[in-house]
Structure 1
Amino acid sequence: MIVTLTPNPSLDYTVELRGLRRGEVLRADRSHVDPGGKGVNVSRALAAHGRKTTAVLFAGGAAGSRLTELLDELGVAVHHVAAAGDTRANITIAEPDGTVTKLNLPGPVCPRGEATGLLDAVLAVCGEDTAWVAGCGSLPPGADDDTYARLVTRMRGTGVRVAVDSSGPALAACLAAGPDLVKPNRDELAECAGLPVRTLGDAVRAAEALRSRGARTVLASLGADGAVLVGEHGAVHGEASVEAARSSVGAGDALLAGFLAAGGGPEGLRQALAWGAAATGLPGSRMPAPADVDRVGVTIHPAVEDDRVLEEGR
């Protein structure tokens, strides 16, 4: 089983437009709502592939109730800690050329005591079959930057590996605790390492900088340039072909889900890329099912192309 922790989940509203024009009244071609938040998305992708998962989350109000209902419909077991305020909403505007505009609202306040309750809940749902706990996403207002660091410390000695997918101070603070895996994207990697990431070699060096601060393995998603995996095994780079990208929202979450489901390591990168590429071909924040995934277009090789320039804005 894989347990996910999402301290700041959301209801994700996706609106597909023919073109976004500021200051005008626009008619949507399509719209739908999905349960959202990075950890929630990881659990959704796992459940879509028949993998056992439990989503621990901080949820409140009518939006929180709707969130748990949607997850139940998708076969995701939920353990929620009650929030005093309403679960937030995120709004994604998707255009036919693949341009995505996303508006993320703040979540309800989560003081340290309630954050501790979230960590207690993670321990409570873990069983003998739990392989990974993944702490994912932003922290809600009031939660301390060391929330994910505390998660890593709490899980030490249980035999359960811990992955963290976050950004900013929350990501930086968790490194010294020694997470088994961190999964930044390109911008998050550069910010956390304090290094520019313009080439593939830059990405590997930045990942090594995070490892020097405590992370055991770094899985860095690079958008159209695939992902690099840097750990005790060395550094490998992988890419996956995408025929027609519709939305990049949630692609990194699908990538992490595929990696964890495969057990990690270089072969885990192959499945991760296949799942992530499949997600980009789906609207909004939908997670891929087995029928959406194609592993044939995935290539894995040593990360030796130091001077390869990464695509901008992807």
Structure 2
Amino acid sequence: MIVTVTPNPALDLTWHVARLQPGETHRVDAGAARAGGKGLNVARVLHAEQHEVVAVTTTGGAVGAEFAAELASSGIRHRLVPVAGTTRRSIAVVDEASGDTSVLNEHGAALSPAEAAALGVTALELGRSASVVAICGSLPPGFGADELGELVRALAAAAVPVIVDTSGPCLLAAARAGAAALKPNAEELRAATGLDDPEAGARLLLGLGARLVVASLGAEGLMIVSADVPGVIRARLPGMLHGNATGAGDAAVAAIAAALAETPDLGADTPSAADARARLARRATAWSASAVLMPLAGDLSPEHPALELEVVVTTPGTGSAGPSDPEAIA
């Protein structure tokens, strides 16, 4: 079982417009509303790919009631922690002409000390019996770097691999607490470490205590760096895809969670772990790219198996491996 934790969930509202023109009025088809936040998007991908998953998050207010109803209809197992504050909303406007997506994220309501404690207790209770726990997204006031670090540390002490996808000081706290994997993008990596070179930034996080860093690098693809192994694995598609990139990073986190559930020693200096990391690089790149092709975050395009065959993977000591290479990683 994989557990996802979303401390700052949102009701995701998505509209598609033929061409977005700032300052103008637009006629659009009915928008879509679904329970979202990064951890919920991860759970949706895993659920669709037939992995057993439980989503832990908070809910409150009238928006929270709509959030909870949609989540119940999704069929995803979940545990909701009631809070006094209203669940926030996230608004995405997809410009179909350019392929760009504009996103407005409301700030999350603060959690009281009791609410923050309840979220941590619930996540730890379910997480102790999980194969992997993924803690994803921004953190609301009241559940910050200290609370995140405490949760990661407790799960790591129970020998449960923890993936953290967040930013800023919270990313550093997760590294210090011994996260099994961190999933920053290039901007988050630079902001957290102060280093422009992605590999140097990743190595800094590993030096703090994380075991694996999987970094999304935009047009440059994806990079995997392990604390136990020299060198870097890189993966990319030959060309860029345009669409709604809102859930691309979440799809990559889902791939990491699935890989850790199958290979708990994913970062180890062994041939089997090296093969697993190369497979992860290929799959995470393909899942991330296929998410861009879908109108809503949390979904993978049916094209993702074909995209996986197109991914070019470069591993330390072996060079590039693509679909036509006899040494390509399946």
Residue 244 of structure 1: CA displacement? 4.4
Aligned partner of 1:298 in structure 2 is: 311
Q: TM-score, normalised by structure 2?
A: 0.85
Aligned partner of 1:308 in structure 2 is: none
Q: 1:278 to 1:30 in 2, by over 3 A?
A: farther
Aligned partner of 1:233 in structure 2 is: 229
Structure 1: gaps of 5 or more residues:
197-201, 305-314
- Cα deviation 1:39-80 (Å, max 9, x = unaligned): 111101000111110111011122222222222322211101
Aligned partner of 2:171 in structure 1 is: 171
Aligned partner of 1:17 in structure 2 is: 17
Matched-pair contact (CA < 8 Å) for 1:92–1:284: no
Count of residue correspondences: 298
- The CA distance in 1 between the partners of 2:38 and 2:316, in whole Å, is 27
Aligned partner of 2:95 in structure 1 is: 95
Q: 1:11 to 1:157 in 2, by over 3 A?
A: same
1:170-249 aligned at under 5 Å gives the runs: 170-196=170-196, 202-231=197-226, 232-234=228-230, 235-241=232-238, 244-249=241-246
For 2:120, the aligned partner's letter is L
3-state DSSP class of the match of 1:91? strand
Matched-pair contact (CA < 8 Å) for 1:112–1:144: no
Matched-pair contact (CA < 8 Å) for 1:123–1:155: yes
- The CA distance in 2 between the partners of 1:245 and 1:139, in whole Å, is 29
Matched-pair contact (CA < 8 Å) for 1:68–1:78: no
- The CA distance in 1 between the partners of 2:282 and 2:15, in whole Å, is 31
Aligned partner of 2:273 in structure 1 is: none
3-state DSSP class of the match of 1:146? helix
Matched-pair contact (CA < 8 Å) for 2:190–2:201: yes
For 2:257, the aligned partner's letter is L
Aligned partner of 1:116 in structure 2 is: 117
Residue 148 of structure 1: CA displacement? 1.7
Aligned partner of 2:296 in structure 1 is: 284
Q: 1:27 to 1:82 in 2, by over 3 A?
A: same
Aligned partner of 1:82 in structure 2 is: 82
Residue 147 of structure 1: CA displacement? 2.3
- The CA distance in 1 between the partners of 2:239 and 2:259, in whole Å, is 21
Matched-pair contact (CA < 8 Å) for 1:146–1:174: no
For 2:12, the aligned partner's letter is D
Aligned partner of 1:105 in structure 2 is: 106
Q: Could you tell me the percent identity over the aligned residues?
A: 36
Aligned partner of 2:282 in structure 1 is: 270
- The CA distance in 2 between the partners of 1:54 and 1:258, in whole Å, is 16
The alignment's C-alpha RMSD in Å is: 1.9
Residue 242 of structure 1: CA displacement? 6.0
- Cα deviation 1:138-192 (Å, max 9, x = unaligned): 1112323222211111213322101110011211222211111111001000111
Q: 1:262 to 1:290 in 2, by over 3 A?
A: farther
Matched-pair contact (CA < 8 Å) for 1:163–1:180: yes
Residue 270 of structure 1: CA displacement? 1.7
Residue 30 of structure 1: CA displacement? 5.4
- The CA distance in 2 between the partners of 1:288 and 1:75, in whole Å, is 17
Q: TM-score, normalised by structure 1?
A: 0.89
- Cα deviation 1:72-102 (Å, max 9, x = unaligned): 3222111011110211100001112211110
> Which one is further off, 250-259 or 170-179?
170-179
Residue 290 of structure 1: CA displacement? 5.5
Matched-pair contact (CA < 8 Å) for 2:39–2:134: yes
- The CA distance in 1 between the partners of 2:157 and 2:218, in whole Å, is 35
- The CA distance in 2 between the partners of 1:74 and 1:271, in whole Å, is 24
Q: Higher helix proportion, which one?
A: 2
